[in-house]
Structure 1
């Protein structure tokens, strides 16, 4: 599939990467701005514009919403592969999500409008999420040592947006009213689609313009659709196996926006130098850590890759699960302190987020890169959507799991999460050599030096 992205920057990455970075940043501001407010809005007092729902109901709705957010990318990826192309799908998704945020911002505390706004966000995300990630992979050739580093750079964009979400949307929503928070998230999404439309042709070339299936048919018009090879089948199996382990990771990690968010609001001493830190600001802790740690991880993976010593994808993801598990140890400390003293110190939660962030950087951007490496080209966006199905299941489970805190108590629930994620990490580490063999070399990279030739133009990146 012939792409012609624009020339690379001085650091050796295509300029299109930074356009996709910026577009994703504004979209993530929109999403995380709404997410930081969502459960607080649902349990908030009706007199202040909230719905006054119970914690269990709010977490159930939150889990269902976030599950649907990660389900619709399957259909969005399929439509992009077959009919729309990735570029048009990203544009359409951006517009729908912008409208969804503005519907949520409408005053009146109307449940019908609330669900309509969430619905627009769900559908829009389905078009946006799998296709912008696949376009990042489309900037790089198979075996390019920059690819994992590129996805980590892209992931920093996600978290710059998440930081802006808490700083802007969260503050406006908590301090000035829910409508201000949701409305500012809509403005962020509008900026994202505007930048993408203005600069797409200049920096992305032909990447994502046409449906993958159409390009394939034109490049080989007389050839019938080839059956999947044994290597391709094995690689698809690896995607599904790793997706299973990702369910364990995200079901635990997504307590951040639900249970941990509510826990921080009610049971953490948020006073600092005589001032009470807004609850939504704690949602910025993770993106701040990612912005700081992301370049370090990107450089580590790229440096190891140039020397041919990069750990396998399953091994990186196993490490991510183990770091996440260790982070929940600090939530055990927090729940112990809040049970005995009424409130827990902020540093318990901040330290937990630090290790959750380190685990996330080992797993999430690497997982996105993995799908672009292993998926057969004709199914690239659809399999990226399937990857997000794991997130869908995990997010729904996260809501259900968080709801048990009222019955079990936070300590027992955090202990169970710690144990399950640790076991999952150990098991994945044990089977990682088998999974690596089943990739049939698709995750291997060519050791390179940062020479002038590496600084040249970007290539297309059909999956092997």
Structure 2
């Protein structure tokens, strides 16, 4: 009997990890393939003329759309996690979310004239990603026993590799399919990628060992009725407000993106006010940590404001200003979006070793300051590249250098941000704070998408220099207050 049990355990393990990690790894890899594949060509589709099969929108408007699209993905991760926790369970939430994402890509892939299916597709992808993204990570953690921290950390590292493999392959595959105005082939490839991910997710479901099958805190019947009523009122109110705005004749895409940007900023402002102004039985130490965390949140938002201009402003620069050849081989402009995940996969182990060796000598605020400084330096390089490009196309390796510098900044800020969010979270809000961390992405993406409007009034070198200056100044301010923040966070 014991021998039989041992064999069964071995069948469910891969290199010492639960077999379910492979299922979730592949699901996330294909979901990220679909997400980053669309993101790589979305700006070009929006700006392409109607005769070229695109939307014919101005570049600043297209940049703003891509910005709020990314912002809403992160914004909806908060309700997406709540729905899984109270209604669906993480496992069903991932399946439903992935199915909605696939439908969104299919909607965009249907080659019909008009914009309706495009907007519907983007809305479905946003909603589906908000449901899938936070919950698949929850399931990874649920595969491991609570005390098995080391193996769980290794499992998340494997999972992170899946994210970057999908992000690395997608821009090349999707952009080459979408060449010569074959946009719908690119969108279709993203749909196929998500379909593959869903198929193996269902097929490998038996290996998930019950992870995420039931909601963690299921709503009571009374709570369900209350939730349904509030949801109906909220959605109905939003629909009426949008209809009245359209009826007034003042609704435009540009104004709508500005409204969504303001809404995105208001969410974390309201949330932090709720935490700090309410009692919630927070200790003095917890309040101090939250005040310190707001500084880090703002720093992260500034970082993502610049970093997530990659699929828009930097993608456009690649198309218009660089010689798109690598080692003599031609590439698409969108293929440059593969530089970032490639470099992340290379340097993640290096930075993991570095932080272990530095230990407590360098605090979170100092790491954030370094991340901001590096993102600022990357745009100093962009300003120089833009100046050189005024006389002709420049080597695409300039962009590779920019992404290399940005990856140094990301690996100094992003993993540290996740860790410090958990560390500083008040006990009463511990389960919600990772969602709050993702709000920094949302705020940065939304504001960053609006910055491209500055290009109507300034040259590219001036634009890149302005954003670089904002990041460097923010880095200097954060560094100046680093010791005070370490005291508030309890690091000293």
Q: Normalised by the shorter chain, which TM-score bucket?
A: 0.7 to 0.9
Contact 1:232 1:376 in 2 (8 A): yes
Task: Classify the secondary structure of the residue corresponding to 1:331.
Answer: helix
Partner residue, 1:317? 368
Partner residue, 1:448? none
Contact 1:159 1:287 in 2 (8 A): yes
2:373 & 2:155 partners in 1: Cα distance? 24
| Structure 2: gaps spanning 5 or more residues | 1-8, 220-278
Partner residue, 1:329? 380
Greater relative contact order (Cα < 8 A, sep 6+): 1
Deviation at 1:352, TM superposition (A): 0.3
Q: Which of the numbers 400, 409, 412 marks the counterpart of 1:359?
A: 409
Partner residue, 2:124? 120
Contact 1:167 1:284 in 2 (8 A): yes
Q: Which of the numbers 472, 475, 491 marks the counterpart of 1:425?
A: 475
Task: Classify the secondary structure of the residue corresponding to 2:172.
Answer: helix
Partner residue, 1:170? 175
Aligned runs of 1:109-188 on 2, under 5 Å?
109-138=113-142, 139=144, 141=146, 144=149, 151-175=156-180, 177-188=182-193
Q: Which moved more, 1:271-280 or 1:169-178?
A: 271-280
Deviations 1:384-420 (A, max 9, x none): 3222222112111111112322321110111111111
Q: Which of the numbers 315, 333, 345 marks the counterpart of 1:261?
A: 315
Task: Classify the secondary structure of the residue corresponding to 1:53.
Answer: coil
1:260 & 1:321 partners in 2: Cα distance? 18
Contact 1:74 1:383 in 2 (8 A): no
2:187 & 2:369 partners in 1: Cα distance? 36
Q: 1:116 to 1:320 in 2, by over 3 A?
A: same
Q: Which of the numbers 86, 104, 107 marks the counterpart of 1:103?
A: 107
Deviations 1:298-320 (A, max 9, x none): 4444x549xx5584444333322
Partner residue, 1:84? 88
TM superposition score normalised by structure 2: 0.76
Q: 1:140 to 1:322 in 2, by over 3 A?
A: farther
Q: How many residues align?
A: 422
Contact 2:372 2:472 in 1 (8 A): yes
Deviation at 1:329, TM superposition (A): 2.2
2:181 & 2:333 partners in 1: Cα distance? 14
Contact 1:100 1:116 in 2 (8 A): yes
Deviations 1:81-140 (A, max 9, x none): 323332222222111111101111110242011100000011111112222334445547
Deviations 1:261-295 (A, max 9, x none): 11111111224566532111101111111122223
Deviation at 1:9, TM superposition (A): 6.5
Task: Classify the secondary structure of the residue corresponding to 1:212.
Answer: coil
Deviation at 1:235, TM superposition (A): 4.9
Partner residue, 2:396? 346
Deviations 1:179-229 (A, max 9, x none): 1111111111122223333334524x34433333359xxxxxxxxxx9554
| Structure 1: gaps spanning 5 or more residues | 1-5, 216-225, 445-464
Q: Which moved more, 1:378-387 or 1:63-72?
A: 378-387
Deviation at 1:337, TM superposition (A): 0.5
Aligned runs of 1:249-328 on 2, under 5 Å?
249-272=303-326, 275-301=329-355, 303-304=356-357, 309=360, 311-328=362-379
Contact 1:267 1:343 in 2 (8 A): yes
Hey, which of these two has a bigger chunk of helix by percent? 2
Q: Which of the numbers 403, 428, 441 marks the counterpart of 1:391?
A: 441
Aligned runs of 1:39-54 on 2, under 5 Å?
39-54=43-58
Aligned runs of 1:50-61 on 2, under 5 Å?
50-61=54-65
Bigger CA radius of gyration: 2
Partner residue, 2:216? 212
Task: Classify the secondary structure of the residue corresponding to 2:178.
Answer: helix
Task: Classify the secondary structure of the residue corresponding to 2:61.
Answer: helix
TM superposition score normalised by structure 1: 0.81
1:235 & 1:140 partners in 2: Cα distance? 29
1:440 & 1:119 partners in 2: Cα distance? 42
Deviation at 1:169, TM superposition (A): 1.2
